[in-house]
Structure 1
């Protein structure tokens, strides 16, 4: 497993972060909107968003009208890499289970 997949899985291990990812799948959100939707204080949400940014799962932008506002959106790379890794693991286990089935049925 690559280090980037490790970072992705570590970031997604937290249920609050998974909820943020679910919300960001719908559309970009401001940090305050995410905190309200998840039920966290702004400092707690900031820590979770920092972990998601460090894992490369989200990116932050600032609207032209106010540089203090932070808008977050998903980045596709880490999830695509995780999906590819899971597809390889799935293919491996399908092969293993097919071999087991053939062995059991042949006995």
Structure 2
């Protein structure tokens, strides 16, 4: 079971549910892979629905790794993602939204 308050999102690969979250390390890995100057630019692309499949894959891999998954990009490319590309994009958007959400209070 995932905990949205910790920024966690569930994604199912090859019939197995996985926990994903963008930890600081995962965000740094994501930034390095995409070569982006600021992750807020990536978040803005998702908010404006101007993201690419490369963006989705990078965010999902980073989130999975932040959740403890030992795989990499090639493993995700070979996996069956429940819900297909639309579900993967939704997971990526949720991960970014939860990573950058300010705590209420």
TM-score (norm 1): 0.31
Larger Rg: 1
Which structure has the highest helix share of the two?
1
Q: More relative contact order in 1 or in 2 (CA 8 Å, sep 6+)? A: 2
TM-score (norm 2): 0.31
